[in-house]
């Protein structure tokens, strides 16, 4: 993250909603533009704390292209008081932003390797900035595989983009749903079940995974069974983050803090605590 003069991690900076895109019935993508100054730089995988005045604050991962110098882009699902208030904001409304915070996907460290990206549900949102980076520098990487899972076809995020990526000849994209409807013609089943059916070299593959924790546990097992080493599997963890700088302790995850040591964590560093359910 680029240094910001006068940046106080506890004080929200004022942004305004520049654009609202309805993704699903309960999910929107917001473009946020600073009221003054430049938008801080961010790395794929990082997050902001978004503050609705009079309501509260929640951590939301970046979901846009980091080369867009004008806006922060966040995809938000209405699942609580604060996220619900954010999802209802209109163009021109003010919102407080603290960040960017946290660790990022190891895009640079993946050069020369095959890439497998596994997303479940809303997990595609924190992975999308990394996908943009990989596509921008496509020739620097080997095979690129994107596996996306959803509970049902109506819950698929970024459907038009997924279709656009599938039309490319240099990416393998597979989408699956837990429960199909009468119009669905794709895969049916959980997303880890796709891993044995895609081709990659496990000795030189890096995996990026984000989704519900139970989905990530099964995905890690499938990746390891396919031969990918623990130190080349990266996960984006979610916890109840409050301060975002490792002081309050709300997001403690074993000996680490998700806001400071994550949200992107290498599997071999957290394997002992990741296996503990509901930790």
What pLDDT score does 23 carry? 97
- If asked whether residues 233 and 131 sit together in one domain, one would say yes
- Classified as helix, coil or strand, 271 is helix
- If asked whether residues 83 and 187 sit together in one domain, one would say no
- If asked whether residues 159 and 236 sit together in one domain, one would say yes
- Classified as helix, coil or strand, 70 is coil
Partners of residue 204 on adjacent β-strands: none
What pLDDT score does 227 carry? 98
- If asked whether residues 81 and 148 sit together in one domain, one would say no
Residue 1 in domain:
no
The mean pLDDT value for 216-225 works out to 97
Distance between CA atoms of residues 244 and 250, nearest Å: 9
The mean pLDDT value for 9-34 works out to 95
The DSSP H or E segment spanning 94 is strand 94-101
- If asked whether residues 36 and 148 sit together in one domain, one would say no
Q: Please report the beta strands in 106-251, taking only residues with DSSP state E, as ranges in sequence order.
A: 114-120, 144-150, 172-177, 187-188, 205-210, 233-236
Residues 139-183 have pLDDT tens digits of 999 999 999 999 999 999 999 999 999 999 999 999 999 999 989
Which residues fall within 8 angstroms of residue 178, CB to CB, at 6 or more apart? 149, 150, 151, 152, 188, 189, 190
Distance between CA atoms of residues 30 and 17, nearest Å: 7
Residues 175-208 have pLDDT tens digits of 999 999 989 999 999 999 999 999 999 999 999 9
Residue 3 in domain:
no
Average pLDDT, the chain: 93
Task: Kindly tell me the sign of the dihedral angle through the C-alpha atoms of 1, 3, 12, 20.
Answer: negative
- If asked whether residues 97 and 114 sit together in one domain, one would say no
Residues 246-268 have pLDDT tens digits of 889 999 988 899 999 999 999 99
The DSSP H or E segment spanning 31 is strand 27-34
The phi, psi pair for 172, rounded to 5°, reads -105, 120
Q: Which residue has the tokens 């990416």?
A: 171
Residue 188 in domain:
yes
- If asked whether residues 25 and 114 sit together in one domain, one would say no
- If asked whether residues 96 and 157 sit together in one domain, one would say no
Distance between CA atoms of residues 217 and 214, nearest Å: 5
CATH number (domain holding residue 139): 3.40.50.80
Q: End of a domain among 82, 101, 120?
A: 101
Residue 279 in domain:
no
Task: Provide the total of helices (H) and of strands (E) in the chain, helices listed first.
Answer: 6, 15
Residue 195 in domain:
yes
Residue 7 in domain:
no
- If asked whether residues 244 and 158 sit together in one domain, one would say yes
Quote the pTM value: 0.94
**Domain span at 84:** 13-101
What pLDDT score does 87 carry? 96
Residue 5 in domain:
no
The mean pLDDT value for 7-36 works out to 93
CATH number (domain holding residue 55): 2.40.30.10
- If asked whether residues 243 and 146 sit together in one domain, one would say yes
Give 131's pLDDT tier (boundaries 50, 70, 90).
Answer: very high
Which residues fall within 8 angstroms of residue 47, CB to CB, at 6 or more apart? 59, 60, 61, 62, 99, 100, 101, 102, 126, 241, 244, 263
Residue 4 in domain:
no
Q: End of a domain among 101, 123, 150?
A: 101
Alpha helix stretches (DSSP H) within 74-212:
81-87, 124-136, 159-166
- If asked whether residues 122 and 260 sit together in one domain, one would say yes
- If asked whether residues 127 and 215 sit together in one domain, one would say yes
What pLDDT score does 275 carry? 77
The mean pLDDT value for 54-71 works out to 95
Q: End of a domain among 101, 130, 147?
A: 101
Query: Would the pLDDT of 278 be above 90?
Result: no
What pLDDT score does 2 carry? 44
Q: CA–CA distance from 52 to each of 48, 100, 208 (Å)?
A: 13, 17, 31
Residue 93 burial class via C-beta count within 10 angstroms: exposed 0-12, middle 13-18, buried 19 and up = middle
Domain count for the chain: 2
Which residues fall within 8 angstroms of residue 142, CB to CB, at 6 or more apart? 112, 113, 114, 115, 200, 201, 204, 205
The mean pLDDT value for 71-94 works out to 97
């Amino acid at each position: 993250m680029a240094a910001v003069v006068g940046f106080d991690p506890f004080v929200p900076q004022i942004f305004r909603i520049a654009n609202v895109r309805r993704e699903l019935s309960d999910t929107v993508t917001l473009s946020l533009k600073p009221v003054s100054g430049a938008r801080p730089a961010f790395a794929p995988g990082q997050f902001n704390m978004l503050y609705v005045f009079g309501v509260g604050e929640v951590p939301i991962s970046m979901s846009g292209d980091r080369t867009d110098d004008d806006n922060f882009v966040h995809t938000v699902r209405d699942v609580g008081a604060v996220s619900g208030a954010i999802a209802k904001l209109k163009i021109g409304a003010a919102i407080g932003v603290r960040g960017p915070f946290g660790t990022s996907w190891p895009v640079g460290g993946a050069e020369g390797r095959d890439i497998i990206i596994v997303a479940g549900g809303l997990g595609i949102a924190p992975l999308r900035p990394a996908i943009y980076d990989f596509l921008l520098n496509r020739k620097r990487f080997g095979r690129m595989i994107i596996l996306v899972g959803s509970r049902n076809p109506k819950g698929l995020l970024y459907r038009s983009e997924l279709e656009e990526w599938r039309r490319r000849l240099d990416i393998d994209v597979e989408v699956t749903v837990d429960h199909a409807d009468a119009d669905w013609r794709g895969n049916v089943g959980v997303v880890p079940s796709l891993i044995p059916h895609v081709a990659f070299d496990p000795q030189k593959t890096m995996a990026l995974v984000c989704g519900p924790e139970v989905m990530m546990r099964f995905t890690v097992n499938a990746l390891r069974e396919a031969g990918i080493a623990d130190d080349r599997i990266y996960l984006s963890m979610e916890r109840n983050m409050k301060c975002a700088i490792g002081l309050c302790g709300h997001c403690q995850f074993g000996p680490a803090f998700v806001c400071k040591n994550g949200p992107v964590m290498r599997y071999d560093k957290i394997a002992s605590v990741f296996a503990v359910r509901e930790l």
